[in-house]
Amino acid sequence: MIVFDDVTISFGNGTKALSDISFAVGEGEFVIVEGHSGAGKTSMMRAVIKDLPLSKGKIVIEGDDISKISAKNLPLLRRKISVIFQDFKLLLDRTIAENIDLALDIIGLEGDVVEKRRKELLELTGLAGKEDYFPVQLSGGEVQRVAIARALAPQPKVLFADEPTGNLDAKTGMSIIKLLQDINEAGTTVVMATHDLELVKDLKLRRIRLDHGELAHDSGAHHHKKVASDSAQTDLKDGESSRTTELAEGEET
Amino acid sequence: MTQKNTVLKHMRRSPYQSLAAIFMTTITFFIVSVFALVVLGAHSMLAFFESRPQVTAFFKDDTLSSEVETLKSTLASTVQLDNTKYISKDDALEIYKSQNSDNPLLLEMVTADILPASLEVSAKNASDLETIAAVMQKQNFVEEVVFQKDVIDTLRKWVTGIRTTGIALSSLLILASLATIVIILGLKFTARKTEINTLSLLGATSWYIRSPFVSEGMIYGITGAILGWGFSYLTLLYLTPNIVSFLGDITLLPVPIWVIMSLLGAQVLLASLIGALASLIATRRYGR
């Protein structure tokens, strides 16, 4: 489903955020990307939604090489791959309901559908009754839940969570991880980046460890080859052009 | 709150910038309205003078009707006439009476004998007026020839001058309005950079991000157009008694309502275009 193929991201001053990274994530997986600050976790997430250009290699999502996705079709990619940002990126002058409604408005939902979907998301994330609060009126854990609710609004196939437990105590952090696991069990692929190795050490999940931009360990490395191979076969079967058409049609709707 | 609902909120948050944009567009469309009305009025005045008998010959008291008929034939064979009208002394008295019906003293002092008979002639081509006047002046029974070509030529020059000045001034003001809206929306766009970046990361299309700015630009333009038009119309209503008294026989006022509404419609359309263009320029980075 997601293939990182020899991905390198360099900055102008020669610093490498990622260096020759290759791995694959299959549909429905829950993967933890762990590493200390500066390991390249955030760069990896930004690259997936084309917020950071690749210097080398390619990222393939559902058979589409994202470097070939046009600026016109980029919004569709970003609705398919949702990211929970480390700094949340919530609009502080809008209520929780308005922040979630914004994400629903972007995908073109209107009226009662928006209200119904918002209620579902607030219940799922345990925020029912908080819709009229502003982000600054909520606790760290609640703000994180708002970010999760907003990220889930477009019903993405993949959810990338960048340090979702970053500034939370252990108990609240675990509740967020539990929520992400529930989301994963409902069918969404989840990739969670964290530097808190202690918090996730007991979780029986696939782990990818980054160290100074390099792939230090992948507990599901055997899986990488299978997913990458499946992805290549899908490419040959469906062809690039049909996928581009699908993206274009999706954009119009 | 969706993007569509944020436009008014953002206008309220920076009221002075919004007021500056509306003020500039109001001045622009006030001037555009004033010049449009003045040019329309001047054209109507021109049409009024052109539709009037353009050359009038006043006859001596002893002129025979056969001589008048001969003059008519001569003129008809010389140039293409639009219309000729003979006004006898009695007809002239009737006209005089109707024009001075509210002044009995003037009516008592005038009889048909002291008023001259005349021939009013209008040509199909304005260029024939001089020929007509020349033929009339050669006749020994013609006392005086009144020739309106000079008045029309002067009026034409004024109309051309007013129109040229109006177009030049309006164009400059429209450019100034465009620049003002571009600068104001550009500042607002930059101030909301973080929010816009978030929208983009959430999958918003370029148009979704730009459309509130386009709406805002159009609101500035349309509000200015309506206010400018409104002020100019109020000014016209206020000055109507003075203008009517100044123009005398020339009935330019009241301006037909369809003309006023057409002017409003055209200005709203132009203002929408200016607002939309300015906002697209201000947010062009997201259009690429």
Least confident range from A39-43, A212-216, B243-247: namely: B243-247
H or E element that contains A81? strand A81-84
**Confidence at A232, pLDDT banded by 50, 70, 90:** low
Which residue of chain B comes nearest to A82, CA vs CA? Answer: B202
Same domain, B143 and B83: yes
Which residue of chain A comes nearest to B209, CA vs CA? Answer: A106
Q: Is the pLDDT of residue A133 over 70?
A: yes
What distance in Å separates the CA atoms of residue A109 and residue A101, rounded to the nearest whole number? 9
What distance in Å separates the CA atoms of residue B97 and residue B99, rounded to the nearest whole number? 5
Q: Which residues on chain B are in Cβ contact (under 8 Å) with A160?
A: none
Domain boundary among B147, B163, B191: B147
Same domain, B165 and B32: yes
Domain boundary among B93, B122, B147: B147
Domain boundary among B147, B166, B187: B147
**Confidence at A111, pLDDT banded by 50, 70, 90:** confident
**Residue A246 or A124, more confident:** A124
Domain-wise residue ranges, chain A: 2-85+156-252
Task: Tell me how close the Cα of A137 comes to any Cα of chain B, in angstroms.
Answer: 18
Same domain, B21 and B57: no
Closest CA to B235 of B211, B214, B258, B253: B253
Same domain, B206 and B253: yes
Q: Is the pLDDT of residue A240 over 50?
A: no
What distance in Å separates the CA atoms of residue A114 and residue B205, rounded to the nearest whole number? 19
Same domain, B236 and B168: yes
- How many domains does the structure of chain B reveal? 2
CB A9 within 8 A of CB A17: yes
Do A101 and B2 make contact, defined as CB atoms within 8 angstroms? yes
What pLDDT is stored for residue B3 in this prediction?
Answer: 60
Task: Tell me how close the Cα of B201 comes to any Cα of chain A, in angstroms.
Answer: 6
3-class DSSP state of B139: coil
Which residue of chain B comes nearest to A115, CA vs CA? Answer: B1
3-class DSSP state of B51: helix
Q: Which residues on chain A are in Cβ contact (under 8 Å) with B288?
A: 71
Give the DSSP letter of residue A168: S
A150 contacts: CB under 8 Å, gap ≥ 6:
A90, A99, A100, A102, A103, A121, B202
Residue in the structure block whose two tokens are 């992400």 = A180
Strand boundaries in A85-154, DSSP class E = none
Do B202 and A71 make contact, defined as CB atoms within 8 angstroms? no
Do A89 and B201 make contact, defined as CB atoms within 8 angstroms? yes
Same domain, B96 and B233: no
Query: Which range marks the domain in which residue B60 is found?
Result: 53-147
CATH number of A2-85+156-252: 3.40.50.300
Task: Tell me how close the Cα of B191 comes to any Cα of chain A, in angstroms.
Answer: 14
Closest CA to A153 of A112, A115, A191, A192: A115
Asked if this assembly's ipTM is beyond 0.90, the reply is no
Amino acid residing at B133: A
Do B208 and A106 make contact, defined as CB atoms within 8 angstroms? yes
Q: Is the pLDDT of residue A203 over 90?
A: no
Crossing angle of helices A240-252 and A221-238, in 10° steps, is 80
Same domain, B15 and B89: no
Of A72, A76, A103, the CB nearest to B202: A103
Whether the CA torsion A211, A213, A217, A219 is positive or negative: it is positive
Task: Tell me how close the Cα of B247 comes to any Cα of chain A, in angstroms.
Answer: 59
**Stated pTM of the model:** 0.73
What distance in Å separates the CA atoms of residue B19 and residue A223, rounded to the nearest whole number? 62
What pLDDT is stored for residue A95 in this prediction?
Answer: 94
What distance in Å separates the CA atoms of residue A186 and residue A183, rounded to the nearest whole number? 5
- pLDDT tens digits for A135-180? 999 998 899 999 999 999 999 999 999 998 887 788 888 888 998 9
Same domain, B160 and B61: no
Do B203 and A106 make contact, defined as CB atoms within 8 angstroms? yes
Give the DSSP letter of residue A115: H
Q: Is the pLDDT of residue A228 over 60?
A: no
Q: String of b and e for B132-149 (b: at least 16 CB within 10 Å)?
A: bbebbeebeebeebebbb
What distance in Å separates the CA atoms of residue B208 and residue B174, rounded to the nearest whole number? 27
Of A72, A94, A154, the CB nearest to B203: A154
What distance in Å separates the CA atoms of residue A110 and residue A116, rounded to the nearest whole number? 10
Same domain, B63 and B169: no
Per DSSP, what are the bridge partners of residue B81?
A: B123
Same domain, B160 and B197: yes
Residue in the structure block whose two tokens are 């889930």 = A152
**Residue B226 or A67, more confident:** B226
What pLDDT is stored for residue A230 in this prediction?
Answer: 59
How much is the mean pLDDT over chain A?
85
B167 contacts: CB under 8 Å, gap ≥ 6:
B35
- pLDDT tens digits for B107-126? 777 888 888 999 988 887 77
**Confidence at A242, pLDDT banded by 50, 70, 90:** very low
**Residue B114, domain CATH:** 3.30.70.3040
Same domain, B227 and B272: yes
What distance in Å separates the CA atoms of residue A106 and residue A153, rounded to the nearest whole number? 10
Q: Is the pLDDT of residue A253 over 50?
A: no
Same domain, B104 and B203: no
CB A113 within 8 A of CB A149: no
Q: Is the pLDDT of residue A250 over 70?
A: no
Residue B233 in tokens? 């119309």
What pLDDT is stored for residue B124 in this prediction?
Answer: 78
What pLDDT is stored for residue B30 in this prediction?
Answer: 96
What distance in Å separates the CA atoms of residue A44 and residue A57, rounded to the nearest whole number? 13
3-class DSSP state of B170: helix
Amino acid residing at A75: P
Per-position pLDDT tens, chain B of length 288: 566 667 887 788 888 999 999 999 999 999 999 999 998 888 888 877 776 667 889 999 888 889 999 999 998 888 888 888 899 988 988 888 888 877 777 777 788 888 899 998 888 777 788 888 889 989 999 999 887 777 777 888 888 998 899 899 999 999 999 999 999 999 999 988 888 999 999 999 999 999 999 999 999 999 999 999 999 999 999 998 888 888 877 777 788 899 999 999 999 999 999 999 999 999 987 655
Which residue of chain A comes nearest to B200, CA vs CA? Answer: A75
